[in-house]
Amino acid sequence: MRTKISPSLMCMNLMEIKQQLAVLNTRADFLHVDIMDGHYVKNITLSPFFIEQIRPFTPVAIDVHLMVEEPTDFIDAVAKAGADYICPHAETINRDAFRVINQIRSLKKKVGVVLNPATPVSFIHHYIHLLDKITVMTVDPGYAGQPFIPEMVRKIAELKALKQQHGYHYLIEIDGSCNEKTYATLLEAGAEVLIVGTSGLFNLDNDLTRAWDSMAQKIADAQDRLRASA
């Protein structure tokens, strides 16, 4: 499977949003939108209104990461705004996971779930077969620029093994420190979607086209190294 790329829009230059979206529209597989409520994590970032504003300007699937205490307070709003994937944290839906999954499905949206670094795969065992995407946080949620947590490599490999063993259809996505230092490790473990932010994409060059080309080359180099060592 070709590695899919999901730029984190909270890391883009919002003063150049239309120009940057034009670049991403021809390259990205997803657009990653973080919504934080100031409670589940301390920060407050993007919103359903932001999704509504960019939706007319992009055909790319919008992937919404709900870093919020009460996902059901946001699901209808982000769906109406134009989200394609809706992904709450596993810890926030533990009491009513099946109801939340059914709510997202009823809105004709794809269902994802996000696992914090300390949350085991076993936490989602009873509904893993219903998921379209599982996001592995390789940093603690809420802040950009944190160091990669190497223990997450085993979690990615576990998800890959379960997917192969049972024929599950979820995508394995990585959120946190996706850059040239980690590409080879993540891809070897089983990563299929890389969320790229400041270190992986936006800080590589002031020109986003050149930044994307630089990122793509770094990923290709990592893939070449893996093939050479196989």
Tell whether 65 is in a known binding site.
yes
Position 45 confidence tier, pLDDT thresholds 50, 70, 90 = confident
Which residue ranges make up each domain of the chain? 4-229
Whole-angstrom distance, CA of residue 104 vs CA of residue 186:
29
Annotated catalytic residue 205? no
What pLDDT, on a 0 to 100 scale, did the predictor assign at position 143? 66
Residue 25 in tokens: 């529209």
For residue 98, pLDDT beyond 90: yes
3-state helix, strand, coil in the chain (%, to 5): 45, 20, 35
Query: 60-96: b or e for each residue (b if 16 or more CB lie within 10 Å)?
Result: bebbbbbbbeebbebbeebbebbbbbbbbbbebbeee
* 170 in a known ligand binding site: no
Q: Does the pLDDT of residue 39 top 70, yes or no?
A: no
Residue 42 has pLDDT above 80, yes or no: no
**CA separation for the pair 70, 17 (Å, rounded):** 29
| Percentage of the chain exceeding pLDDT 70 | 96
With 80 as the cut, is the pLDDT of residue 41 above it?
no
The answer to the question of whether 32 is labelled as a binding residue is yes
CA count, 13 A, side-chain hemisphere, 22? 5
Q: Which of 34, 37, 84, 132 is catalytic?
A: 34
198 is in an annotated binding site: yes
Question: Out of 1.20.120.1200, 3.40.50.12780, 3.40.1160.10, 3.20.20.70, which CATH number does the structure's domain 4-229 have?
Answer: 3.20.20.70
Of the listed ranges 61-65, 105-109, 140-144, the one predicted with least confidence = 140-144
Is 175 annotated to bind a ligand? Reply is yes
Q: What pLDDT, in 10s, does the model give residues 144-197? A: 667 899 999 999 999 999 999 999 999 999 999 999 999 999 999 999 999 999
Q: Between these two residues, 104 and 141, which has the higher pLDDT value?
A: 104
The reply to whether 140 sits in an annotated binding site is: no
Whole-angstrom distance, CA of residue 61 vs CA of residue 6: 9
For residues 22-37, give the mean pLDDT: 96
Identity of residue 27? R
In this structure, are residues 185 and 154 in contact, taking their beta carbons and an 8 Å threshold? no
Active site annotation includes 37? no
Q: What is the pLDDT of residue 88?
A: 98
Which of the two residues, 13 and 43, has the higher pLDDT score?
Answer: 13
Find the catalytic residue in 29, 37, 132, 175.
Answer: 175
pTM of the model: 0.95
Query: Is it the case that residue 56 has pLDDT exceeding 70?
Result: yes
pLDDT at 60: 98
**pLDDT given at position 144:** 62
Q: Average the pLDDT over 140-147 and give the result.
A: 74
pLDDT at 73: 94
Q: Tell me if 82 is assigned to a ligand binding site.
A: no
Q: What is the pLDDT of residues 104-126, one digit of tens each?
A: 999 999 999 999 999 999 999 99
85 appears as a binding residue in the annotation: no
Alpha-carbon torsion (223, 188, 25, 143), positive or negative: negative
- Are the C-beta atoms of residues 5 and 29 closer than 8 Å to each other? yes
Q: What is the mean pLDDT of residues 23-37?
A: 95
Tell me: is residue 176 an annotated ligand-binding position. yes
